[in-house]
Every structure is written in structure tokens, then in C-alpha cells.
């Protein structure tokens, strides 16, 4: 997807811009599927857990249980040019040298700590800063704070990190929490 094209049956097709993939994963069973290798997981920007709906939303689901009910009533709020504009706006969000130092300390920690099977890749580091900048943009600010990096860190890193003793990724949340607890925001 990085190449913005796909090849099917020997024919290469350009993808429309913007283009993104949303995938779902059943957290309880891999029957009939295979876990993705680390190199493929690294291509996903984030892993978000949505959990169960709250009681009010679940009640609405039960009342409107007809498949795809209401989909025709949805109103488009952004078009492709709006998304491109927002995407380009990320480049206007500032990250100071000290913020980038903090981000690099987080990444280095994952690469140097022998409890991790492997550290965050350059792609993971880029995903972390771009996600933090997007968070800042959503909050209508112009500069990244360490708290912004910490806000997006679990979603960006938990599917990328594995402990040496746990290849299943079931306790991945502990890894991002550990990173935030053990890596100082300000260098010594």
C-alpha cells in the first residue's frame, strides 16, 4: 500500500487518493486465519480496541437491528479534497527538538531493552510522530507536547511490540504503559 498501487493477476492498478485500509480482528479466535508477521503488522498505523457498546448505544442497535438500517440517512461530512487538506495540515504542526528527543528515547528504549523481541521500526517512529501531530490538529493546537505522544502511543505501538516471553501480544497494553513509565520526558 505504501506504493499507492496494487497488482492483481499481473495488472498494476493505481489506488485513489486518499486511500486507506481498515481491517477487523476477532480477539478471541484465529480459526481459519493466520496471525500477520511483524513486518505486515508494522504497516498498520494503529490498532484500536472499540470494545462493547455502552448500554444506550446497544439499546439503539437492538431497536434498529435491521441490517444497514439508517445507512441511507448518513450525511457525508468530508470529501477527498477535505481529507487531503487535513493530511497536509499535519505538516504545519510543530514538534520541538526536545519533543523529538523524547520520541527517539522511547524508540531507543524498545530497541535496547532485552525484554522486547524487537524494537520499534523507523516506520513505527514515523507513525508515532504523525499520529501525535494528528491528535494535536484534532485538538486545534499547533505544537506537539509529550502528553500528545503518550495519548497515541498505545494505539501506535501495542500491535508492533512483543515481549520476549510473550509472542501472542495479549499483554501488549503493558508494553506501552511501561514505555511511558520508564522513559523520562526530559533527558537527564
- What's the CA gap between 112 and 114, in Å, rounded? 6
Model confidence at 29, in pLDDT bands (50, 70, 90)? low
Give residue 114's pLDDT: 80
Which one is predicted more confidently, 19 or 183? 183
Across the range 116-122, mean pLDDT stands at 87
CA 150, 105, 170, 130 torsion-angle sign: positive
Q: What is the pLDDT of residue 95?
A: 97
pLDDT above 60 (res 17)? yes
Q: What are phi and psi of 14, to 5 degrees?
A: -70, 145
Q: Round the average pLDDT of the chain to a whole number and report it.
A: 86
Mind listing the pLDDT tens digit for each residue in 38-97?
A: 888 888 888 888 889 999 999 988 887 776 667 788 899 999 899 999 999 999 999 999
CA dist., res. 39 & res. 158, Å (int):
14
Domains and CATH numbers, the chain: 1-48+77-188 (1.10.8.80)
pLDDT over threshold 90, residue 176: no
pTM of this prediction?
Answer: 0.82
Burial track 20-48 (b if 16+ CB lie within 10 A, e otherwise): eeeeeeeeeeeeeeeeeeeeebbebbebe
Q: What is the pLDDT of residues 97-113, one digit of tens each?
A: 999 999 999 999 999 98
Res. 152: pLDDT tops 90:
yes
Q: Is the pLDDT of residue 168 over 70?
A: no
pLDDT recorded at residue 167? 53
Please report the pLDDT score of residue 137 as a whole number.
96
Amino acid at each position: 500500500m505504501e506504493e499507492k498501487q496494487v497488482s492483481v493477476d499481473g495488472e498494476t492498478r493505481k489506488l485513489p487518493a486518499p486511500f486507506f485500509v481498515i481491517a477487523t480482528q476477532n480477539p478471541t479466535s484465529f480459526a481459519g486465519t493466520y496471525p500477520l508477521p511483524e513486518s505486515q503488522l508494522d504497516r498498520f498505523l494503529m490498532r484500536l480496541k472499540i470494545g462493547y457498546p455502552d448500554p444506550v448505544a446497544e439499546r439503539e442497535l437492538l431497536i434498529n437491528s435491521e441490517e444497514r438500517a439508517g445507512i441511507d440517512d448518513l450525511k457525508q461530512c468530508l470529501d477527498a479534497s477535505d481529507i487531503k487538506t487535513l493530511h497536509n495540515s499535519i505538516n504545519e504542526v510543530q514538534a520541538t527538538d526536545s519533543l523529538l528527543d523524547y520520541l527517539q528515547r522511547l524508540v531507543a528504549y524498545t530497541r535496547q531493552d532485552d525484554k522486547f523481541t524487537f524494537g520499534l521500526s523507523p516506520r513505527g517512529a514515523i507513525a508515532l510522530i504523525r499520529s501525535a501531530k494528528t491528535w494535536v490538529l484534532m485538538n486545534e493546537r499547533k505544537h506537539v507536547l509529550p502528553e500528545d505522544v503518550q495519548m497515541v502511543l498505545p494505539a501506535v505501538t501495542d500491535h508492533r511490540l512483543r515481549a520476549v516471553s510473550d509472542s501472542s501480544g495479549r499483554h501488549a497494553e503493558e508494553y506501552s504503559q511501561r514505555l511511558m513509565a520508564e522513559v523520562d520526558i526530559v533527558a537527564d
